[in-house]
Structure 1
Amino acid sequence: MLAWLGRSAARRRYPIIVGWIGIALLGAVFGGAVYDRTESVDSLRPTAESTVAKARIDKVDPEGEHIVAVVAGRDFNSMALIDSASKVMFEIRGMPGVKSVSDSYTSAARQIAADNKSSLVTVELQPGLGDDEALALADRVAAALHRIDAPTVLVGGELLAERSFGDQAIQDAAIGEGVALIVLCAALVVILGGLLAGSIPLAAALATVAGTLLALTGLASAMPVSEYAVNIVTLLGLGLAVDYSLLIISRFREERAADRRAALPELLARTVATAGRAVLVSGLAVGAALIGLFAFADPLLAAMALGGALVVCLATATGLTLVPAIIAVAHHRIPAPGTRTWVWRRTRQPGPGSLAKLARFAQRRPALVALAVTAGLLLLSGPLLGVNLANSDARSLPANSEERLAFEAFERDFAMDFSQPITILIEGNVEEPAVRALLDDLRALIGAIDVDLRTDAPPQVTIVDLMTSGPATSDRAQQLVHTVRAMHPEVPIFVAGPAAELIDAKESTVDRLPIALAVVVIATAILLFALTRSVVVPLKALCMNVLTLTATLGTLVAVFQWGWGASLLGFQPWGALDITTPLLLFVFIFGLSMDYEVFLLARIKEEWDRRTGDDRGANDRAVLAGITATGPVITAAALSIGIVFLGFALGELIAVKEIGVGMAVAVLLDVTIVRGLLLPAVMSLLGRANWWPGRRRTAAAGSEA
C-alpha cells in the first residue's frame, strides 16, 4: 500500500501538488477567519459543580460584568483628586448599561488602601449585555476612569483581561510563526544543502498550517475554539510537518545513493514503504495521544484535541503525498549529503553523527550510562513534587499589561479586605429553619470573615457570599470550599467562585487522568508492537517517555513557578503553572517522543531483521546501525522543531510560553539524553530480550520478504 502510494506520488506529482496548493490557498483566504471566531472557552466541563452552581446563580440572580480600577499615586484626601474622581463617578453612573458604581468618593464604600494613596473603584454592568456591547461599554468606562486626576489609574477586570488575552494570543501567534518560519527556513537550507531542498519541508509545513486553519474555521462554527487552542495547534502542525518531511527526504537520498540506476517511481516506492511507514505509525501515535485529551471532557481541551487530531492527519498526509510529489519534481536539486553546493562549500564524506557517537559511548558502558542518565532525569523531575497548579488569570498576561497591573495592585492592596467571595446557593428560603441553621454554621467556619446575604435573590433560594481574606484561590479559600461541600446540610447547596472552580479542575484532572493514560498507553503500545513485534520495546519506550515528561515538567516548575531564568526569558513568574500545561505537555511530549522513537525503532528493526550471528553482538550492531542511519535526520528534525517551539517561547502570554519552553526542553532532553544515551544503553543491556517474543528472521528470509 505505501509503496503504491510512493509510485503514485511520482506518476501523479503535478495533480497532487496542485491539489495541495489549492488547500493552502483556501486556508490562506478563509482560514484567517478562525481568529474572528475564537472565543473565551471554559476550562471546566459543564457538569462540574462550580459550573452548575454558577449557571444556577446566573439564572436566579444574574450579575453583570465588573470593571475594576485602582486609583493610586496621590493622597486620597486631596481636594483635586476628590473633585476629579467624583465628576467621573457621576458620569459613569449616567452611562446606559451601567448597573452600579462602588467607590470611596461618591458612595458609602470605604475602599482605601493602608497607605491612604490608593482606592478601589468597582463598576458593574447590566446583566444580559452581549459580548460586543459589554466590551464597548467597558471601553467607555475605562476611558472615563483614565480622566481621573491621579498619577496612576489602572483599569482591569475579567472581561477586559479575557479580551487582552485573546488579542495577545493572536499577536504571539503571528510573531511566533513569523520568527519560527524565517529562522526555520535558514536552518533547513543549511541542513539540506540548497534553497529548493530546504523549501520542501517548509512547503509541507505551510500547507499543513493553512489546511489546519481552514479546518479550525469550520470547527469554530460547531464548537467553541479559543485563541490559545489555535496557537498550540499551529505550533504542533509546523513541528510535525517538518519532522515528517525531513525523514522522507533523508530516506530518499539514502535509497538514491544505494541504487542510482533505479527509476524514480521505484525509488519513491521504497522511500514511502520504509520511511512512510514510520511517518504513518508516528502520526497514529501522536493522534492517539491527542485523543486522550477527550477523556478530560473539558471544552478547552476538547477543542485542542480535535484541532490537534486534524493537524496530525494533515501533517501525515503531506508527508506521504505532497513531499514525495515535490521530490519527484525537484529530485535533481536535492543534493546528497556531503556534496559540494553553494551552501556546503567543501566536499565532505558523511561521518557518524552526534547521536551515533553518543550511542557508541553508551554501548561501551551500558549499565553506568543507564544509571547516570536515569538519575539525572529523576533529579530534573524533583521540582515536580512541589508543583502548584492554578487557573490562569490576569497574571498570565505580559508584565506591562494594564489588566495585569490592575490585578496585581488589587491583590497587593485590597485582597485582604475585598477578596472575591465563595458564593453559595442554598435551595430554600432564608426563613426556613434548616437554612438559618446552615447560615449559622457558615458564620462559625474557621477562616470565614463574614457571610453576606444577597437581598435581591428570589424567595425560593438563598444566596450568600462567604468572605475570606487573601487571594480568591488561596489555600484558605480552597479549604473553606472543601469544608462547605463536606457539611451535607438538610437543604441542597451549590458552591461557586474561583476557589471552587480550581478545586473542580484539579479533581477532574485526577479523576480522568487514568482514563487518558490508558487511552494513550494502550494505543501507543499496540502501534509499537505492530512496528517491532516486541512486547519489551513498547514498555521500554513508555518508561523513557515518562522520564522525559517528568524531567520537562520539573524544569518548568523551576523556571515558571520558582522563577529560575525568568529574566532571561522575559517574564515575571506568578508562582504557579497553568493547570492545563501538564495535560497538554503530557500529550505533546508523549506524541513527539513517540515520533523520534518510531523513527529510530523502525530503522533498528530493519537492521535487526537482516542480521545474523551472536545475539548480543547482532543486537548492538543493529541498534548502532539504526541510530547511525537515522540519527542525522532526528538531529535535524529536533533542531527544526526546537526552532518552532522557541519561536512561540518569544510570546508574551505565560501560558503559551510555558508550552513553547516545555516542548523545546523536552525535544532537547529526548533527542540527546534519552535517544542518544539511554535508549542504546538499555537496549544493549537487554540484548535479544528486546525483541521478545518476536523471532529474528535470517538474512535469507529477510531478503525473500
Structure 2
Amino acid sequence: MLARLGRAAARGRYVVCAIWTVLALAGAVLGGSVYDRTESPDQLRPDAPSTLAQARLDALDPEGETVVAVIGGRDFHATALVDSATRIMFEIRAIPGVAKVTDAYTAGSGMIGPERQNSLAVIELQPQLSEDEAQAVAERVAAALHRIDSPEIVVGGKLLAERDFNDQAVADAAFGESVALAVLCAALIVMLGGLAAGLLPLGAALAVVAGTLLALTGLAGTMPVSEYTVNVVTLLGLGLAVDYSLLIVARFREERAADPGAPVDELVARTVATAGRAVLVSGLAVGIALSGLFVFAEPLLAAMALGGALVVALATAAGLTLVPALVAIAHRRIPAPGTRTWVWRRAARREPGFLARSARYAQRRPAVVALAVSAGLLVLALPLPHANLADSDARSLPASSEARQAYEVAQRDFGGKYPQPVPVLIEAPATDPSTVALLERMRAVPGVTDVDVREGVPPQATVAEVELPGGASGPQAQQLVRDLRALDPSLLVTGPAAELVDAKDATAARLPVALAVVVLATGLLLFLLTGSLVVPVKALLMNLLTLAATLGVLVAVFQWGWGADLLGFTPWGALDLTTPLLLFVFIFGLSMDYEVFLLARIREEWRRDGDNDRAVLAGITATGPVVTAAAVSIGIVFLGFALGDLIAVKEIGVGMAVAVLLDVTVVRGLLLPALMSLLGRANWWPTRPPAAPPAAAAPAPAPAPAPRSSDLPGKRAKARSRFAQVPGKSNDQRVG
C-alpha cells in the first residue's frame, strides 16, 4: 500500500504539491488570526474542588480583578508625593469599571513598607466586566498610577501579568521561530549538500506549520487555546516535518545508488515502502504519546493534546505525500552523500558516522558501556526527587517585566505584614453554633495566625479568611489547605494554594493512567514493527531513563539556578507544573521517533541472516546519519524556545534540547547497541531468526595453474625472476 502511495505521489507530483501549496497559503493568510482568538484557559478541570468552591463563592460574593501597585522611591510623607498620590487615587475612583481603591493616602489602609519608603495600593475592578473590558480598565488604571510623582512605581496584578505573558509569548514565538528557521535552513543546506536539497525539508516543514496554524484557528473556535499552545505545537510540527523529510531523502539516496537506472517513480515507491513505514509508525507513536495529555482532562492540556494530534497528522501526511512529490521533482538536485558540490568543496571520504563508531565501541564492551551509561543517566536524575512544582505566576515572566517586579516587591515588603488569606466557604450562617465551633477549630490549625469573617456575604453562608505567614501558594499554604479539608469535608477551600493542591492531586491520580495509555500503545506499535516483546520493553525503559535525566537537569537549572546567568533568566525556585507532563509526552514521542528509525532498519538487516550484532551495527550505520541530522535539526528548533524570555517556555526548550542530546548520543549511540549485544537473539523473542540462505552448489575444482614467479613470496621469487632471464638454459636448469 505504501509503495502504491509513493508511486502515486511521484507520478502526480505537481498535483500533490499544488494541494499542499493551497493549504499552506490558506494557513499563511487565515492561520495568523489564531493569535487574535487565543485566550487563557483554566488550569483545572471544572469539577476540581477549588474550582467548585470558587464558583460558589463568586455566586455569593463576586469579586473583580485587582490591580496592585507599589509606590516608592521617596519618603511616604513627602509633600509632593502625598499631593500627587491623593489626586490620582481620586481620579482612579472615578474611572468607570473601578469598584474599590485601597491605599495608604486616601483610604487609610496603613499598607506602608519598611522605613516608610513605599506603600501598597490595591484597586479592585467591578466583577461584571468581561475579560476585554476588565483589561481595558486595568490599563487605564495603570496609566493613571504611573502619573504619580514618585521615582519608583511598579504596577501588576493577575490580569496585567496574563497580558504580559500573552504578549511575551507572541514576541518569543516570532523571534525564536525566525532564528530557528534561519539556522535550520543553513544547517540543512550544509547537511544535504545543496540549496534545493536543503530547502526541500524546510518547504515541507513550512507547509506543515501553516496547516497547523489553520487547524488551530478552527480549534480555537470550539475550545480555549492559549498562545503557549500555539508556540509549542507549531515548533513541534516544524521539528517532526524536518525529521520525516530527512528520513525519506536519505532512503531515496540509498535506493538510487543501488539502482541508478531505475525510473524516479519506482525509486520513490521503494523509498516510501521502506522509510514510509517508519514515518507512519513514528507518527502514530508520537500521536499516541500526545494523546496521553487527554487523560489529565484539563483545558490547557486538552488543547495541547488536540493541537499536537493535528500537527502530528499533518507532519505524517506530508512525509508520505508532499516529501516524495518534492523528491520526484528535485531528484536531480539531490546529491549523493560524499559527492563534490558547491557546499561540499571536496568529496568526503565514506567513513562511519558518529553513531556507527559509538555502536562499534559499545558492542566491543557491552556490559561496561551499559552500566556506565545507565549510571550516568541516573546521576543526572538525582535532583528530580527534590523538584518543586508550582503554577507559573508573575515570577515566570522575565525579570524586566513590570508585573513580575510588582509581584516580587509586594511579596518582599508586604507579604509578611499583609499575608494573602486562604478563603474558606462554610454553607451555614456565621451565628450558627456549628460555624462558631468550626471557626475556633480553624484558628487552632498549626501555623494559622488569624481567621476573619468576610463582611457583605449573604447570611445563609460564611466566608472565612484564614491567614498564615508565607506566600499565597507556598508549601505552608498548601499544607494549610490539606489541614482545613481534613478538618471538615464540608469546607469549601479555594485560592491559589488550593488550586495548586488540586492540580498536584489530579496529576498524581491520573499519571499512572496516562503512563499506561502511552506505554501500552507505543509498546504495541513497536511489537507490530519488530515482532519482538523484548525490544519494546527495552525501548520504553531507555525512554524513561532519558526523561528522568532530563527532568533532573531542569531541576538543577531552573529551580536551583545552575547556569541561570548563561541562559539569561532569574530562577523563581520551582518548575511549572505542566513542564514535566509536556516533556513526558514530547520526549517519549521523539525518543520513539528515533527508536523507530533505527529499529526499522535493524530489523530489516536482521531478517537477512539472523545475525544480531551485524544487524545492529549495519542498521545504525545506515540510519545513524539520518538520526544525527534529525537530532541536530530538531535541537535547533527547540533551542528557539530557549531564546525566549518566558521561563515556562524556556524550560520546554532547554529540556527538549537536553533530551535530544542525551538520546542521540549516549542512549541511541551507546546504550541501545550495548543492550542489544548483551541480549543477542533474545532481542527478537518470540520471533524466530530467519532461515539461513541456501548454500549455492559448489563448482567442480579446476586444475591448479602452474605457479608463476610473481606468486612466490619473498627473496626466492626475486631470485627466480633473475634466473629466468639467463639465456640458453631450461627451466629446470635455471631453478636448479
**TM-score computed with the length of structure 2 as normaliser:** 0.93
Instruction: Map 1:180-579 onto structure 2 (within 5 A).
Output: 180-488=180-488, 492-579=490-577
Q: Distance in 2 between matches of 1:418 and 1:323?
A: 61
The C-alpha deviation readout for 1:584-632, integer Å capped at 9, x for no partner, is 00000000000000000000000000025xxxxx211100000000000
Q: Distance in 2 between matches of 1:323 and 1:140?
A: 52
Q: Distance in 2 between matches of 1:451 and 1:82?
A: 33
Asked whether the 8 Å contact 1:609–1:699 carries over to 2, the reply is no
Matched residue SS, 1:677: helix
Q: Distance in 1 between matches of 2:495 and 2:419?
A: 11
Over 6 Å off, 4+ runs: none
Q: Distance in 1 between matches of 2:589 and 2:115?
A: 52
Q: Distance in 2 between matches of 1:418 and 1:360?
A: 65
Give the match for residue 627 of structure 2.
634
Asked whether the 8 Å contact 1:383–1:558 carries over to 2, the reply is yes
Give the match for residue 659 of structure 1.
652
Q: Distance in 1 between matches of 2:390 and 2:132?
A: 28
Q: Distance in 1 between matches of 2:108 and 2:491?
A: 32
1:680 deviates by 0.3
Corresponding position: 1:696 with 2:689: yes
The C-alpha deviation readout for 1:676-700, integer Å capped at 9, x for no partner, is 0000000000000000001122365
Greater Cα offset, 427-436 or 312-321: 427-436
The amino acid across from 1:590 in the alignment is F
Q: Distance in 2 between matches of 1:135 and 1:527?
A: 48
Q: Distance in 2 between matches of 1:266 and 1:694?
A: 31
1:82 deviates by 1.1
Give the match for residue 168 of structure 1.
168
Give the match for residue 718 of structure 2.
none
The amino acid across from 2:50 in the alignment is S
Give the match for residue 103 of structure 2.
103
Give the match for residue 615 of structure 1.
none
The amino acid across from 1:107 in the alignment is A
Out of 671, 682, 687, the position equivalent to 2:680 is: 687
1:213 deviates by 0.5
Give the match for residue 668 of structure 2.
675
The C-alpha deviation readout for 1:224-258, integer Å capped at 9, x for no partner, is 00111111101110110000000000000011001
1:418 deviates by 2.1
Matched residue SS, 1:564: coil
Q: Distance in 2 between matches of 1:600 and 1:206?
A: 26
Asked whether the 8 Å contact 2:609–2:693 carries over to 1, the reply is no
Give the number of equivalent residue pairs: 694
Out of 592, 595, 603, the position equivalent to 2:593 is: 595
Corresponding position: 1:132 with 2:141: no
The C-alpha deviation readout for 1:476-513, integer Å capped at 9, x for no partner, is 11111111000126xx3210011101100100000000
Q: Distance in 1 between matches of 2:470 and 2:119?
A: 17
Q: Distance in 1 between matches of 2:350 and 2:268?
A: 22
Q: Distance in 2 between matches of 1:343 and 1:170?
A: 35
Give the match for residue 731 of structure 2.
none
Give the match for residue 622 of structure 1.
615
1:108 deviates by 2.4
Q: Distance in 2 between matches of 1:96 and 1:379?
A: 58
The C-alpha deviation readout for 1:412-432, integer Å capped at 9, x for no partner, is 111112222211111111111
Asked whether the 8 Å contact 1:419–1:467 carries over to 2, the reply is yes
The amino acid across from 1:287 in the alignment is G
Asked whether the 8 Å contact 1:224–1:303 carries over to 2, the reply is yes
Out of 600, 607, 610, the position equivalent to 1:609 is: 607
Matched residue SS, 2:56: helix
The C-alpha deviation readout for 1:45-64, integer Å capped at 9, x for no partner, is 11110111111111111001
1:399 deviates by 0.8
Greater Cα offset, 105-114 or 533-542: 105-114
The amino acid across from 2:666 in the alignment is I
Q: Distance in 1 between matches of 2:510 and 2:277?
A: 32
1:545 deviates by 0.2
Greater Cα offset, 642-651 or 429-438: 429-438
**TM-score computed with the length of structure 1 as normaliser:** 0.98
The C-alpha deviation readout for 1:502-548, integer Å capped at 9, x for no partner, is 10010000000011000000000000000000000000000000000
Q: Distance in 1 between matches of 2:449 and 2:144?
A: 34
The amino acid across from 1:625 in the alignment is A
Greater Cα offset, 557-566 or 449-458: 449-458
Q: Distance in 2 between matches of 1:97 and 1:685?
A: 71
Matched residue SS, 1:528: helix
Q: Distance in 1 between matches of 2:449 and 2:684?
A: 65
The amino acid across from 1:485 in the alignment is R
Matched residue SS, 1:171: helix
Asked whether the 8 Å contact 1:285–1:527 carries over to 2, the reply is yes
Q: Distance in 2 between matches of 1:687 and 1:287?
A: 31
Q: Distance in 2 between matches of 1:404 and 1:135?
A: 17
Asked whether the 8 Å contact 1:355–1:631 carries over to 2, the reply is yes
Q: Distance in 2 between matches of 1:456 and 1:175?
A: 49
Asked whether the 8 Å contact 1:3–1:273 carries over to 2, the reply is yes
The amino acid across from 2:8 in the alignment is S
The amino acid across from 1:24 in the alignment is A
The C-alpha deviation readout for 1:195-235, integer Å capped at 9, x for no partner, is 01001110111011100000000000000001111111011
1:670 deviates by 0.1
The amino acid across from 2:570 in the alignment is Q
Matched residue SS, 1:682: helix
Q: Distance in 1 between matches of 2:31 and 2:187?
A: 27
Q: Distance in 2 between matches of 1:576 and 1:404?
A: 15
Change (3 A) 1:599 1:699: farther
Q: Distance in 2 between matches of 1:115 and 1:203?
A: 61
The amino acid across from 1:643 in the alignment is I
Q: Distance in 2 between matches of 1:418 and 1:55?
A: 25
Q: Unaligned regions of 5+ residues in structure 2, if any?
A: 695-736
The amino acid across from 2:605 in the alignment is E
Q: Unaligned regions of 5+ residues in structure 1, if any?
A: 613-617
The amino acid across from 1:120 in the alignment is L
Asked whether the 8 Å contact 2:558–2:574 carries over to 1, the reply is yes
Q: Distance in 1 between matches of 2:386 and 2:145?
A: 41
Identity %: 70
Matched residue SS, 1:313: helix
Instruction: Map 1:23-38 onto structure 2 (within 5 A).
Output: 23-38=23-38
Q: Distance in 2 between matches of 1:461 and 1:269?
A: 72
The C-alpha deviation readout for 1:73-111, integer Å capped at 9, x for no partner, is 111121221111111111111111111111111112110
The C-alpha deviation readout for 1:284-325, integer Å capped at 9, x for no partner, is 000000111000000000000000000000000000000000
The amino acid across from 2:575 in the alignment is L
Q: Distance in 2 between matches of 1:175 and 1:561?
A: 25
